Amino acid sequence: MDHFSYHPAVSDQDPESRTRLVEPGSRPDLEAALDAVNRDLAATWPEAGPMRLMWTPSDEEDVPDQYHAALPDGRWHDGVTNPDAAGIAEAAQETVQAVLWQVWPVCPEHRTGVHSGAGADERDVWWCRVGEGHELCAVGELAQTLPRKQRRALRRKERGREG
């Protein structure tokens, strides 16, 4: 079986693998964090998402469980232990970079990859490290950084989905 074939049912995945989808509702904090990342993917790179939260339970007492941000087809790279919102955003970036070979998201001003981190008011933000560095936007609000024309097109698309 091709583990990486597109859209494998979760039940089709390698029975040897203990990695599975996180039960919806069991980690609302991490789900909210990934939702924010998915909003940003939908705004800037809809083909890549939405990503899903997966985890690999540890079978050893002193080894913590690992959490992963997986692409829609189940591929992921690396895992985070004891993740918080910024950790999930970072895991999503890791997966995008390692699996899709893309730097994401990109600062529109400096054309360089930005990184998740804590902003001035404790929100998780995308941070651009060029020069003295600057906050691009809160994670989940990447749509606001798009040129007006692209923002309008996005809103039209969202309305189309709802209607």
| CA nearest neighbour of 44 among 136, 163, 132 | 136
For residues 103 and 119, what is the distance between their CA atoms, to the nearest angstrom?
Answer: 21
99 binds Zn ion (CB under 5 A): no
Q: What is the DSSP letter of 3?
A: T
Instruction: Please state the closest distance from residue 113 (CB atom) to Zn ion, in A.
Output: 10
Half-sphere exposure of 103 (CA within 13 A, CB side): 9
Q: Which is nearer to Zn ion, 107 or 138 (CB)?
A: 107
151 binds Zn ion (CB under 5 A): no
Q: Which is nearer to Zn ion, 28 or 133 (CB)?
A: 133
103 binds Zn ion (CB under 5 A): no
Using CB under 5 A as the binding criterion, the count of chain residues that bind Zn ion stands at 5
Contact letters for Zn ion, residues 51-80 (x by CB under 5 A): ------------------------------
Hey, what amino acid is at 109? E
Distance set, CA 17 to CA 2, 54, 61, 80 (Å): 14, 12, 18, 17
Contact letters for Zn ion, residues 108-147 (x by CB under 5 A): -xx-----------------x-x-----------------
Q: Which is nearer to Zn ion, 27 or 115 (CB)?
A: 115
Distance set, CA 11 to CA 15, 72, 82 (Å): 9, 14, 26
- Interface residue list for Zn ion (CB under 5 A): 107, 109-110, 128, 130
